[in-house]
Structure 1
Amino acid sequence: MKKMILTGVTALALLTGGVIDSGSIGSSVEAAQATLKFKDVPSTHWAAAAINSAVEQGFFQGYADGTFKPGSPVTKAEMASILGRLTDQPNAAIQETNNFTDVPEWAKSGVSAAIAKGFISPANYNGKLDAKASLTRGEMATWLAQGLSVVDSDYKQALSDVTNTVIPAKEYFTGKLASNQKNAVAVVLGTGLMSVANDKNFGTDRTTTRAEVAVLIARYESVAKTKPADFQGLNELRAVGLTGTNLSIIAPRYQVFPESRYPESYDYSRVTGDFTKIRNKELVTVTNYATAKIKNWIVINPYVKESERSIYYPAFVDEKDILLRGAYYSFTEYDLNIKNSMNRLQAGSLFNSPTINPLTSPNSKAFGDYAVPHINDLLGSKGIFNVKNPVYWGEGLLHFDKTLGPEVHLTLKDGTTYYVVPN
C-alpha cells in the first residue's frame, strides 16, 4: 500500500488511498457515492456494504485510479489509527504510555488513541510496534479482544475463562495455535467477530485485508453493544474452559442424579453434577486394560437451526448427519494410559456407556477437515494401539429416551461420582 511521507494528521488523508482522517473526504453522502464507483468493488462483492459504510464514516478512501483494493493488506499503523477513531469505545481504566520508537509521524496520534482505548498494550511489545508491517489476523484478534475487555469487564473475565477451552479451529487441534493468542481467538470466534477460513484454519499468521477491516469495524461496534452472555458460542467456550463440558449450555435438562433416588444409607456427598470434579482425573473403568481420564466432553444438539447450533457443530458434524430417537451427539477427548497392550475393542470396554465410549472416533468429513485427533491415527496392525498414552476424541450418543440408558455415570478412584440424568 503506497503512502506519501507527510507530517501531522494530514498524512492520514492518503492521496493514493488507504486510511483517512475523518475530515478529509467531505460529506458522508459524497463518501457513500464514491464507494459505488470503485471499479474493483461491485455490488456483488462480499464486503461491498461494509466498504461503503467504512468509507462513509471516514475510515478509508479509494485510490486515484478509481479502485479500493479490497484485498490489499492493512498495516498495524493504519489499523491502530482506525481503532483510535471509534468514538463509542471508552478509554481504558489504566493508561499506558506510547513508547513505540518505530511509529511514523502521521500515525503517532492514532496509535496513542488506540492505546488509550485499550486495543494495544505496549507492555506486550519491546518498544517497537513494527508499525509498517501488515497486521496479522492473530494480532487483530488480540487487539479486538482487548478492546472488548475495556467495554465490559465480563469480556475481560471471558478472556480468562477460555484459557483451557477447546477452540473450533484447525490450528488448535494440530497444536499450532500460539498460547499468547489462543484466548483472544476464542473470544472473537465466540462472539462471531471473526471466523475460520474455508480450510478450517483461523489463520493467525495471515494478513488482514482492507475489505476484512471494513467488515470488522461494523462487527466490532455491534459486538461491543452486546453482553457477553448473549453469545451462545462464547458461553460454550467459557463453560468448556472452566468445567470441561458445554453440557449445561446445550443440554440443561441433564442434572445431577437426585438424592431422593438413592438409598438413605448412601453417602450422597460423594455424588456430583460438577464435571470439574472429575475432569483430568483417573476414572474407575469396567476393564483393566488402561487407566483413563477425560479431558473434555462436547455435546451437540443436531436438531436446531443453524443460528442456534453449538459453536462446535462445524468441527464435528456434517450437515447430512441425522440421529434417531432424539439423541444428541457426544464427543469426548480421552487421555488413556495403556498398561500392557490394548486394541480398539478393548478400549470400547473401558466404560459401559453409550455416551462415554472410546471405541470409535467420528467419521464425518468435518472431523477430518478440522484435523481433530482420531483413534485410527493411533492404531497399528490388528487394531492395536501403537502408543502407550493415546489422546483422541471418541464419539457417543447422549440419550433422552429412558429405554436407551440416558444416565452418564463416572466414578473416580476416590469414590467421587459424577452422575447426571435428564429430568
Structure 2
Amino acid sequence: MKKMIISGVTALALLTGGVVGVGGVGSSVEAAQATLKFKDVPSTHWAAAAINSAVEQGYFKGYTDGTFKPSSPVTKAEMASILGRLSDQPNASSPGINNFTDVPEWAKGGVSSAIQKGFINPTSYQGKLDAKASLKRGEMAIWLTSGLATVDLDYKQALSDVTNTVIPAKEYFTGTLITSQKNAVAVAMGTGLMSVYNDKMFGADRTTTRAEVAVLIARYATVAKTKPSNYKGLNELRQVGLTGTNINIIAPKYKKTPENKVSPNVEYSEVTDDFTKVRNKNIITDTQHADLKIKNWIIVNTFAKGTERSIYYPVFVDEGFTLLRGAYYSFPELELNVKNNNMNRLQAGSLLNSATINPMNSPTSDAFAAYGGHVINDFTKNRGVFAVKNPVYWSRGLLHFDKEILSDVSLVSKEGPTYSVIATD
C-alpha cells in the first residue's frame, strides 16, 4: 500500500483550531522544521517523530503562537475528515448513507467520504454523529478496525473471531469494557495499532489527542498493508476467542496424547486436542467439593523475548522473571460451583490434583495485580474458606517440558470428551 496522504487547504485546517495560514503546505523540509520549532513538542516528547511526520505530510499545522498542542482533543468531525482523505483506502462494498443531521457544513464531505471508505457505519448511530464532541478511544478503535475490515476481509473475520477472547487491558479484567467496543479494541491491540497506557487501561472513554492521531495515522498505514496473520498477538487473540486457549501458538509441541500414554480409564475415541470440546464444560474432579469449568486457558513462555513474547506476557508476568527447568506458565480462568460450605483453597487444589491447572493458586505478579484480574483471595475469608458460591478467578500452574517431570494434561468433561495433550520432541 502506498503512503496514505490527504491534500488541500481544508485538510490542513482540520486540526489547527481554525487558525491556519493561506496557501499550501510548503516543502517537506519546511514542514519538518516547523515541527521542530513547536515550543510544546521537545525532541523527547513520546510522539515527536510521529508529529514531525504528520506535519510533513500535511495532516497537521501548528498554531500561530508556535505551539502544536499535542494534548488537545480531536473532534469526531475532524477525525472523520482526515480518514475520508486517506487516498489509498478502498471504498466499502456496501457503504451507508450520510444521514447525520449534526455535521457542520465544512465536514459533510469528509464524513461522507469516511463512510464511503468503511470507517464509519451510520447504522450504529441514531442519526447524529455528535460531530463536535471529542472522539474517544473506544470509538476510534471501532472506526480504524472497520477501515481495516474494508481493506482486507480477513480483518473483518478477525473482528468476529475475537468475540470471546481475553483482552490484555484492565477494563477487560475488571468487567468495565463496553461490549460493543470489545472486538474493535481486541483487533486494535492485536495489531499494535493501539495499546494500553501505563496504568494498564486501554482508556476507551479517554479522548483522542492530536499527538495520538499523529501516531495512529502512521500506524494505520502500516497495519493496512500487513496481513492479519503476520501479527502474533492478533493470532493469539483470535485463537483464544475461537478455542479458549493460545497453547497451539505458544506451546505448539503440545500435541494430542498418544493412546499408550492416556489413562486406561479413558476411552481413547473420546480423546481430543481441541480445547473447545471442554471449554466451559463441567470437568470431572477428583473430589466433590465443587463443580469446575475452565473458561479460558492462557500459556506464557517467560523465556521469550521481543516480538516472540505472548501478547499476554505483560498481563501475567513481571518483566525479567523466568521460570526454572524450561517450564511455561499456565493461567486457567476457572468458574467454580462450590458445594461444600466449608471448602477452602487447599480443597480447591484437590479438585484436579494437577500442577498445570491448579485451582489453589492464582497469579501473584505485580503485573497481574495492576490489571485487576480476580484471584482466589478475592473470594476466600478466614482459613482460606470460600465466601462465594460461584467464584470466577484466574489460577496459576506450570506447563512442563522437562522429560523427568513431564506428564500429559488431561481434562475429562462430564459431557464425554477428554482433552489430553502432551509435549512431543
Q: Please tell me the TM-score bracket, short chain as reference.
A: over 0.9
Q: Are the structure 2 counterparts of residues 300 and 365 from structure 1 closer, same or farther at C-alpha, using a change threshold of 3 Å? A: same
SS at the partner of 1:403?
Answer: coil
Q: Which residue in the other structure is 2:378 paired with?
A: 377
Report the residue type matching 1:116 in the other structure. Q
User: In the TM superposition, what are the counterparts of 1:322-401 in structure 2 within 5 Å?
Assistant: 322-341=322-341, 342-401=343-402
User: Residues 293 and 334 of structure 2 are in contact (CA less than 8 Å); yes or no, is this contact kept in structure 1?
Assistant: yes
Q: CA deviation at 1:387?
A: 0.6
Report the residue type matching 1:120 in the other structure. I
Q: Are the structure 2 counterparts of residues 324 and 130 from structure 1 closer, same or farther at C-alpha, using a change threshold of 3 Å? A: same
User: Residues 17 and 64 of structure 1 are in contact (CA less than 8 Å); yes or no, is this contact kept in structure 2?
Assistant: no
Q: Which residue in the other structure is 1:243 paired with?
A: 243
User: In the TM superposition, what are the counterparts of 1:237-276 in structure 2 within 5 Å?
Assistant: 237-259=237-259, 267-276=267-276
Q: Could you tell me how far apart the structure 2 residues matched to 1:419 and 1:13 are? A: 59
Q: Which residue in the other structure is 1:107 paired with?
A: 107
Q: Could you tell me how far apart the structure 2 residues matched to 1:263 and 1:38 are? A: 69
Report the residue type matching 1:403 in the other structure. E
TM-score normalized with structure 2 length? 0.94
Q: CA deviation at 1:277?
A: 0.1
1:272-304 CA distance string (max 9 Å, x none): 000000000001001110011000000000001
1:88-120 CA distance string (max 9 Å, x none): 211111121111111111111111111111000
User: In the TM superposition, what are the counterparts of 1:311-326 in structure 2 within 5 Å?
Assistant: 311-326=311-326
Q: Are the structure 2 counterparts of residues 117 and 134 from structure 1 closer, same or farther at C-alpha, using a change threshold of 3 Å? A: same
Q: CA deviation at 1:58?
A: 1.3
Q: CA deviation at 1:24?
A: 3.2
1:35-82 CA distance string (max 9 Å, x none): 122111122211111111111111111111111111100000110111
User: Residues 21 and 58 of structure 1 are in contact (CA less than 8 Å); yes or no, is this contact kept in structure 2?
Assistant: no
- Unpaired runs of 5+ residues, structure 2, are 1-7
User: In the TM superposition, what are the counterparts of 1:12-411 in structure 2 within 5 Å?
Assistant: 12-14=11-13, 17-18=16-17, 24-259=24-259, 267-341=267-341, 342-411=343-412
Q: Which moved more, 1:48-57 or 1:17-26?
A: 17-26
Q: Could you tell me how far apart the structure 1 residues matched to 2:307 and 2:98 are? A: 41
Q: Could you tell me how far apart the structure 2 residues matched to 1:409 and 1:189 are? A: 32
Q: CA deviation at 1:200?
A: 0.6
Q: Could you tell me how far apart the structure 2 residues matched to 1:159 and 1:244 are? A: 16
User: Residues 330 and 396 of structure 2 are in contact (CA less than 8 Å); yes or no, is this contact kept in structure 1?
Assistant: yes
Q: CA deviation at 1:23?
A: 7.2
SS at the partner of 1:60?
Answer: coil
1:128-154 CA distance string (max 9 Å, x none): 101110000000001011000011100
Q: Which residue in the other structure is 1:416 paired with?
A: 417
Report the residue type matching 1:272 in the other structure. T
Q: CA deviation at 1:405?
A: 3.4
Q: Are the structure 2 counterparts of residues 13 and 328 from structure 1 closer, same or farther at C-alpha, using a change threshold of 3 Å? A: closer
Q: Could you tell me how far apart the structure 2 residues matched to 1:349 and 1:114 are? A: 57
Q: Could you tell me how far apart the structure 2 residues matched to 1:379 and 1:419 are? A: 31
Percent of counterpart pairs with the same letter? Answer: 69
Q: Could you tell me how far apart the structure 2 residues matched to 1:361 and 1:16 are? A: 47
Q: Which moved more, 1:109-118 or 1:317-326?
A: 317-326
Q: Could you tell me how far apart the structure 2 residues matched to 1:58 and 1:266 are? A: 66
Report the residue type matching 1:154 in the other structure. D
Over 3 Å off, 4+ runs: 9-16, 18-24, 259-267
User: Residues 12 and 106 of structure 1 are in contact (CA less than 8 Å); yes or no, is this contact kept in structure 2?
Assistant: no
User: Residues 330 and 356 of structure 1 are in contact (CA less than 8 Å); yes or no, is this contact kept in structure 2?
Assistant: yes
Question: Aligned-residue CA RMSD in angstroms?
Answer: 2.0
Q: CA deviation at 1:21?
A: 11
SS at the partner of 1:180?
Answer: helix
Q: Aligned pair count? A: 415
Report the residue type matching 2:411 in the other structure. L
- Unpaired runs of 5+ residues, structure 1, are 1-8
Q: Which residue in the other structure is 2:3 paired with?
A: none
Q: CA deviation at 1:22?
A: 12
Report the residue type matching 2:376 in the other structure. I
Q: CA deviation at 1:31?
A: 1.8
SS at the partner of 1:404?
Answer: coil
1:350-388 CA distance string (max 9 Å, x none): 002110100111111011100010100100111100011
1:305-362 CA distance string (max 9 Å, x none): 1321111111111014221100000001000001122100000000021101001111
1:185-209 CA distance string (max 9 Å, x none): 0000000001101111100000010
Q: Are the structure 2 counterparts of residues 88 and 14 from structure 1 closer, same or farther at C-alpha, using a change threshold of 3 Å? A: closer
Q: Which moved more, 1:126-135 or 1:9-18?
A: 9-18
SS at the partner of 2:422?
Answer: strand
TM-score normalized with structure 1 length? 0.94
User: Residues 291 and 338 of structure 2 are in contact (CA less than 8 Å); yes or no, is this contact kept in structure 1?
Assistant: yes
SS at the partner of 1:113?
Answer: helix
Report the residue type matching 1:405 in the other structure. L
Q: Could you tell me how far apart the structure 2 residues matched to 1:325 and 1:282 are? A: 32
SS at the partner of 1:402?
Answer: coil
Report the residue type matching 1:241 in the other structure. G
User: Residues 136 and 208 of structure 2 are in contact (CA less than 8 Å); yes or no, is this contact kept in structure 1?
Assistant: yes
Q: CA deviation at 1:269?
A: 2.0
